[in-house]
Amino acid sequence: MTEPTRKDRFRPLELLILSAIVAVFVGLVVGASTRDIFLGAIFLGVAFIVTLVVLATLAITGRPDDAEIVDLDDQDRGH
């Protein structure tokens, strides 16, 4: 079995960071538009969870097949 690449190891962190960015944006927009910090915090939490689930689902379903993996490896090596 091969060791996971650095990109593979940081994939969960990327999903968490993207979810956090979207959640903070949603929380700020809702908080600023309604002037209710508590409602903004609720929307922030909901947006974080929903975004994380959607991104993780897309990451799982978007796995490349063997031909795409070979092509991606060739592109990474500059061939």
Q: Is residue 72 part of a domain?
A: yes
Q: Is residue 58 part of a domain?
A: yes
Give the tens place of pLDDT for each residue, 41-72: 999 999 999 999 999 998 888 776 777 777 77
Q: Is residue 4 part of a domain?
A: no
Other Cβ atoms within 10 Å of 50 Cβ, number:
14
Q: Is residue 50 part of a domain?
A: yes
Instruction: Tell me which long-range contacts 42-50 makes (C-beta under 8 A, separation of at least 24).
Output: 47/22, 47/23, 48/19, 48/20, 48/22, 48/23
Q: Is residue 11 part of a domain?
A: no
pTM score above 0.75: no
Q: Is residue 15 part of a domain?
A: no
Maximum Cα interatomic distance, the chain, rounded to a whole number of Å: 55
Domain that holds residue 44: 20-77
Q: What is the pLDDT of residue 2?
A: 57
Query: Residue holding tokens 């968490």?
Result: 16
Q: Is residue 67 part of a domain?
A: yes
Q: Is residue 3 part of a domain?
A: no
Number of domains comprising the chain: 1
